[in-house]
Amino acid sequence: MTDKGDQRPGTPMPDFEALSRNMAQFVEEAGRVAAAYLKPYEEGRAKGGAADEVGDIVKTLGNVAEKWMSDPQKAIEAQSALTSRFLDLWASTLKRMQGEQAEPVITPDPKDKRFADPEWEENPLFDFIKQAYLLTTDWADRLAAEAEGLDDHTRHKAQFYVRQIASALAPSNFIATNPELIRTTLRESGANLVRGMQMLAEDVEAGGGQLKVRQSDPHRFEVGINLANTPGKVIFRNELVELIQYSPTTEKVLRRPLLIVPPWINKYYILDLNPDKSFIRWAVAQGLTVFCISWVNPDERLAEKSFEDYMREGIFAALDAIARNTGEEEVSAVGYCVGGTLLAATLAFMAANGDTRIAGATFLTTQVDFTHAGDLKVFVDEDQIRAIEQEMAKRGYLEGSRMATAFNMLRPNDLIWPYIVNNYVRGVSPLPFDLLYWNSDSTRMPAANHSFYMRECYLKNNLAKGRMNFGNTRLELSDVTIPTYHLATREDHIAPARSVFLGAQLFGGRIRFVLAGSGHIAGVVNPPAKPKYQHWVNGKPRGELDDWLKEAQEVPGSWWPDWIDWIAAQSPERVKARDPAEGPLAPLCDAPGTYVKMRD
């Protein structure tokens, strides 16, 4: 029987001499991993936070166990239910071992790629391991879901933590219980384990003593060369931002410039990955004078920079520079994710103070009402925020890796464990993938800014309630009467579509809501020339998202053309294109500038 890329069962014989050498080298590399892990502790620069997270997991699951044990009869019934299902599984497995047919007791989700190898089904032993895992994790999830007397937040955390533990303990993650990994290790006489341990040591060193799992080949990309390479100039810089003005590619442009306010949790170039995927390059080609904020990667010197500072020294500073360089007092603005949340708060502040410089706004996967904020709310309660604040106080900022890990935990079976298995067990370097390279290019966040955001938005939901204040100004989204365009994505785990839909209804002007296919990134970065996903339109958001969607029109392809039509309709007048090299503000350097190249 041939082994087709480890997709069919086979039992290759190892080279035992090579196996012995590789195992010796494996031990040596394991020592290197241990040294990389311990070095930051020996030098007094270890990054903290893990103990608090583990403590919260133990406390939360302990609450679940306490609720079950308070009713012994119910606990016995739950245990008996699991035992009964295992007896059914054992009977089914015995039949299969005797050559008889038997229906599975439980089957994985068809979309679950972990058990795609045929031997998970064809081999009774591995089929038993798979089903035993599925039965146990299903039972554990039910315990968290059905525990009586838990408050909603604790139940949400318990279910989330159970999923994380279940993902970590999947038999597909371990050599001894994964038929594909067994075949790979035997065929390569353990050389895969040596390569994996080498990569593990490198990644622990890169993470400063913590594992920073590589998701893409880090050596195949360079910002400004094959990423973020749309031509332009940095025309303004302060402590928080560099403002990029992009070079025109059309003779005429819309009079009203466009300002993009990206998130500061990652770098702005998610909107300028490469020429084929670049929203920025495409917008320039449509005849827009595009400006984009590039946020600094802050250190301890910027610890006191607040959410309001990001408005004043970010958005307001950019508006001033745009006015000086173009002579235009009105702009259209685009905010993405937390950049959109800041933009919304800024618009409410501007409305309260009679500032009309932003005449139309677009919000890409942006939450302003955090009622339905999804699994990220697991990390938000008073105890956890206080622990994060104590950690931030030591350095003045939150490590970018902390937020990156939280985002990856929303989809552990897609963004964590496949890479751990592929990198460190198969010993295969990940393919070069620009989006995942960007995903790993995380940024720090000033302590004051991040604390305000977590408390005011996620914990208290004050922006939606009209209770957020910048200085003496209360922010009321209903005061924002300019036209707004809101894009949600159907499978978003970070800004759930239901959350975006609810928040869009808080604005006071003409509202257009569009729902795109896919998730937080792929649903946004969906260029018309190579569209992967559709979108739905139905005008203004009303009622519940499910009801809106029932009456919506499904449109094949990218949402970008719908958006540019909306933008052009706001202010259709065109003028001579503006070259950033010839404006009143002398360029400071070429795009993408210097801030975007600052690594965490």
Does position 168 have pLDDT exceeding 70, yes or no?
yes
- CA dihedral 17→20→23→29, nearest 10 degrees, is -80
- Of 303, 302, 307, 309, which is closest to residue 456 (Cα–Cα)? 307
In this prediction, residue 14 carries a pLDDT of: 66
Residues belonging to the active site:
337
With cut-offs at 50, 70 and 90, classify the pLDDT of residue 131.
very high
pLDDT of residue 2: 37
pLDDT of residue 512: 97
pLDDT at 4: 41
pLDDT digits (tens, 9 = 90+) for 366-385: 999 999 999 999 999 999 99
What average pLDDT does the segment 138-147 reach? Answer: 91
552-556: list long-range contacts, CB under 8 Å, 24+ apart. Answer: 552/515, 556/531
Return d(Cα 523, Cα 164) in angstroms, integer. 25
Banded model confidence at residue 3, pLDDT cuts 50, 70, 90: very low
Residue 114's pLDDT band (boundaries 50, 70, 90)? Answer: very high
37 pLDDT exceeds 70? no
DSSP string, 259-309: EEE--SSB-GGGG-SSTTT-HHHHHHHTT--EEEEEE----GGGTT--HHH
Cis peptide before 592 (omega within 30 of 0): yes
pLDDT tier for residue 355 given thresholds of 50, 70 and 90 = very high
Split at pLDDT 50, 70, 90, the class of 196 is very high
Among 353-357, 379-383, 458-462, the least confident range: 379-383
pLDDT for 61 equals 86
Per residue in 519-560, pLDDT (tens digit) is: 999 999 999 998 899 999 998 899 999 999 999 999 999 999
Residue 288 banded pLDDT, cuts 50, 70, 90: very high
Give the pLDDT score at 569: 96
The residue that leads in pLDDT, 343 or 219, is 343
Q: Compare 303 and 45 and report the one with higher pLDDT.
A: 303
For the cut 70, the answer to whether the pLDDT of residue 318 exceeds it is yes
Assess whether pLDDT exceeds 80 at residue 39.
Answer: no
Question: What whole-number distance in Å separates Cα of residue 138 and Cα of residue 357?
Answer: 54
pTM for this prediction? 0.89
Question: What is the average pLDDT score of the chain?
Answer: 91
pLDDT > 60? residue 1: no
Residue 17: its pLDDT value, please? 73
Q: Which two tokens stand for residue 328?
A: 């235009």
Is residue 564 within 8 A of residue 407, CB to CB? The reply is no
Residue 64 has pLDDT above 80, yes or no: yes
Average pLDDT over every residue of 311-320: 98
Enter the DSSP assignment of 104: -
| % residues pLDDT > 70 (the chain) | 92
The arithmetic mean of pLDDT across residues 190-194, rounded, is 93
Res 48 pLDDT > 50: yes
pLDDT of residue 244: 98
Residue written as tokens 């069919």?
8
Could you give phi then psi for residue 415, rounded to 5 degrees? Answer: -115, -5
% of the chain with per-residue pLDDT over 90: 73
The confidence band for 316, taking pLDDT boundaries of 50, 70 and 90, is very high
Write out the two tokens for 564.
């540019």
pLDDT-based confidence at 42, cuts 50/70/90? low
pLDDT of the residue at 7:
47
pLDDT for 472-491, tens place per residue?
999 999 999 999 999 999 99
Q: Give yes or no for a contact between 224 and 265, defined as CB atoms under 8 angstroms apart.
A: no
Please report the DSSP string for 424-475 in residue order: HTS--PPPP-HHHHHHH-B--EEHHHHHHHIIIIIIT-HHHHT--EETTEEP
Question: What's the rounded Cα separation, in Å, for the pair 473 and 336?
Answer: 24
| pLDDT tens-place string over residues 389-408 | 998 999 999 988 888 888 88
